[in-house]
Amino acid sequence: MRNLKLTLEYDGKRYLGWQRLGDSDKTIQGKIEKVITQMTGETIEIVGSGRTDAGAHARGQVANFKTNAQLSLKEMLVFFNRYLPDDIVVKEMEEVPERFHARYNALGKQYSYYVWNSPIPTAFERYHSFQISQPLDIAKMEAACELLEGTHDFLGFSALKKSKKSTERRIDSIKISQDGEMLRFTFVGNGFLYKMVRILMGTIIEIGAGNLPISIIEEVFTSKTRSQAGETAPAQGLFLDEVYY
């Protein structure tokens, strides 16, 4: 039995997220598994490093699956990119040890979130960024990012109602870069809770717009109450850039 690792990129705007759904074929996992069955004749479940939300994108999603197929990696790569939809691409394939697990072995991830900060919309990036018309205070947002860095209980910055597992995570860095009207927020950490990046982004944006005080961050860490944090930023601005192993 071979264990194969895939590095994927996809444009998520047409899909209901990563996770396969029984009543829909509009998922990334579902599309990939369908092609694997065509290629190998086997019914196989692919394991992703994590679930991306409906409408979110990936430049470096990682997944693995096990198969008895004897096709070469080059043959499989050609097959995937011939039969997958054009907005899902397998960038790399490699054979990995039997015990490799794309989710359980992940040590960290990098996400980017894009904000189009202009009263004039963008025709080309409308499905890949979140438009904010009002001016944003970069210095305030950078100060907010510094407060979010480090190890904290991020339950209040997630969409989890409650969790039996630890909701403590470590954010190594949150950086803001600007190219004209486009702002890129880059998050690097050892793990992220359900909708955590989007809720952090909503909070950072509201601080930058002057709608929330920067003190709200410590208040949410203390109270662990989701309703105190900012709105959940839309999925279309979110990209999974890389998974670290």
**Catalytic residue positions, numbered:** 53
Using alpha carbons, list the distances in angstroms from residue 92 to 52, 130, 177, 180, 195: 19, 29, 28, 32, 27
Strands 108-117 and 130-132: parallel
| Cβ-Cβ contacts under 8 Å for 87 (sequence gap 6 or more) | 10, 11, 13, 14
| Cβ-Cβ contacts under 8 Å for 60 (sequence gap 6 or more) | 7, 8, 9, 91, 110, 240, 241, 242, 243
Q: Are 30 and 75 in contact (CB under 8 A)?
A: no
The alpha carbon dihedral of 136, 225, 234, 86 has a sign of positive
Q: Distance between CA atoms of 31 and 70, rounded to whole angstroms?
A: 22
Q: Are 34 and 45 in contact (CB under 8 A)?
A: no
